[in-house]
Chains A and B, each alone.
Chain A
Amino acid sequence: MSKTTDIQAKTRQLLNSGQVSCVIGYEVGPRGRTRPAFIYQPDDAERMVWNRSCTHNLVPYVSEKLQSIEKNIPAGETETAQQQVAVVVKPCDSRAINVLLAEKQFSRDQVYVIGVACEGIVEGAGFGREDNGNLQARCQRCSEREPVVYDMLIGEPQKVEAVDDYSDLDRLTDLTPDERVEFWLSQFDRCIRCYACRQVCPMCNCPTCLYERDDSLWVGMGIRLNEKRTFHLGRAYHLAGRCVGCNECERVCPMKIPISLLNRMLEREVEAAFGHRAGVAAVPSPLVTILDSEDGISWTS
């Protein structure tokens, strides 16, 4: 059986048994573009697909879906099994689940994880630009073929020899600090503050983003270089030790800002300093402080 039919069968079974109310996966739209799909009825399970364009990280939809289910529970009724949603994840996406579990965004029993043994995603996926069939750069250096957390595994994970030597960062580290500033400012200059990078990110889940406050407290509203620089650098810091490298931020950027360079620079620093890789286990980033109570702050590492 193909992964597609396996996912469809699992979707049907989870919905038929009433174990979950929604399965979040992938479908192919009328233009042939692969896109997120939300399945509620067993009969719709046949819309589900798995292909080499399933690039989207679907984990951000999990919290959203759980919240909307919670909002729609009639007053007086408490938890039911209906509160569980299922989600299809690749290995990189699955690490986002671990980070969110560690940050208590939802609990493990609220999400049924359909893990897929990934063989890499192609360039141009999601936009119908899969012209050359080459794997995305992040997939070429990725050796994780099995999700780190799942309830059911689809496919047989293949062993791959891939080494991430962070050589993509050489173009930055070879520069002087001044040249690096110049490089980034010229990149941020294109930003239009559409916030797609933030909206698509599983880790960008603040109810009010500090870069979008009505009172311009930390950064103004202007779509100008100063504000754009503050936004991008600030966002990168907030992802330190939390970014799982799904690279959705860079994929969705209409202005092709190489956001992954920022995130990976910090990823390497955090791994070197703390031996921490985001989401490999369900533990919070060592750079995150957790307020346990009103009495004090405990450091997590």
Chain B
Amino acid sequence: MDIITRDQLAALLDNLASSRTLIAPCLVEDVLLYRQVPSSAEVAWDFDLPVLSAKGALFPPTESLMTVDKVGDDGEENDVQLNLLETIFEDEQVIFGVRPCDARGFRALDALLLDTEPVDTYYARRREKTTLIGIACGQMGPSCFCTSLGGAPDDWRDVDLMLTEIEDVYAVKVVTEKGRALLGDLSLRELPGEPAEPVLNDPLPVPSDEAWTSQFDDGFWDNLAERCLSCRICAYVCPVCRCFDVRDELVPATTFCYDHYERIRCWDSCTGVNYRKIAGGHNPRSEKGQRLRNRFNCKFYYYPQQYGVIACTGCGRCIDACPVNIDITEVMEHLVITQEGASK
């Protein structure tokens, strides 16, 4: 295996940071987050799973789509002109320390945003300009279940460059040409052997399509949802939840002026009360049970039906962040057990 030392890696990151945006896990106050860092000095080297996934680097919480300026308005209507300017992401960026579950999340997002027409040009642009440096997990955390969904703590398939920490050096696996280009002419030392296998949790059973459809009207959803707060934590920490809302808004101006607008899109979530509200005020998913049912069906049934991949990577973030212990693995287990009982 090829190895890179911590010092070499730090120098590489510093070099990258000087020419492009470097995003890495870092401690913001007490909170571990993927953030843009000016240099490797800010990187949290010994990190587990950041609170938010890395998806924000490709699908930001708020993204400007275009700006609209009204110009030439001197009172004569004929002279008024609207300038529409599309916001185009130009920067090259590197995300360092992507965990395999988050990288797999990008693959799931690609299925909808890149591989299905119409292509989401904003996501596509960022995706093209982004290089992923993954770091394998030495072991699975207590809430992790990536292996149940086809992933693995050392899954290198969705990154450009995979690193595996071995004491104070990293084993390097070049996955793509993009990844190779990052290394430049850096000479890697060769060591005999391969990195140790990660410690795995027992895989969980995953409900079949039939389990989701046959239990659509089950009272389980209402019972599960009773304690749900209808907040959006689960969707916002998730590497695959990608719902958004689009709105045209006045840009706050220093002077009183109504001529500058921005079209933005922001994260949204189907767990929120108003997500499904339609013109006239009707809300087809006004009950919490309906909303949670949608959330889980989307991940394991609707999204795979439409785009071919499960919209969950087993990162376990939603389990750890939910204030009222709504647990996706408990949902999976319930559906599997009920389905087994029904088919006996």
Please report A residues at the B interface, Cβ cutoff 8 Å.
29-31, 33-38, 56, 61, 126-127, 186-187, 190, 192-196, 198-200, 212, 214, 216, 220-224, 226, 248, 251-252, 254-256
Contact = CB atoms under 8 A, between A and B. Distances in A.
Contact of B51 (A56, A187, A214, A255): A255
A192 B249 CA distance: 19
Q: Is the interface of A mostly helix, strand, loop or mixed?
A: loop
B174 interface: no
Given A224-B62, A256-B31, A29 B231 contact: no
> 4 tightest CB-CB pairs across the interface, nearest first?
A252-B323, A196-B231, A223-B61, A35-B325
B320 A127 contact: yes
A216 B266 CA distance: 13
B33 interface: yes
Given A190-B31, A192-B61, A223-B61, A30 B327 contact: yes
B62 A223 contact: yes
A34 B223 CA distance: 16
Contact of A190 (B28, B320, B327): B28
A196 B326 CA distance: 14
Interface in B37-85: 51-52, 61-62
Given A196-B229, A196-B233, A200-B231, A222 B249 contact: yes
Nearest to B223: A38
Contacts of B320: 127
Contact of B327 (A29, A56, A251): A29
Contacts of A37: 227
Interface of B: 28-31, 33, 51-52, 61-62, 223, 226-227, 229-233, 236-237, 245, 247, 249-250, 252, 264, 266-267, 269, 272, 274, 319-321, 323-325, 327, 330
A198 B233 CA distance: 12
B274 A126 contact: no
A35 B62 contact: no
Given A35-B227, A195-B272, A214-B274, A221 B247 contact: yes
A220 B249 contact: yes
18 contacts: A31-B325, A33-B325, A38-B227, A193-B266, A196-B229, A199-B231, A216-B249, A220-B264, A221-B247, A221-B249, A221-B264, A223-B61, A223-B62, A224-B62, A252-B233, A254-B236, A254-B321, A255-B31
A255 B29 CA distance: 10
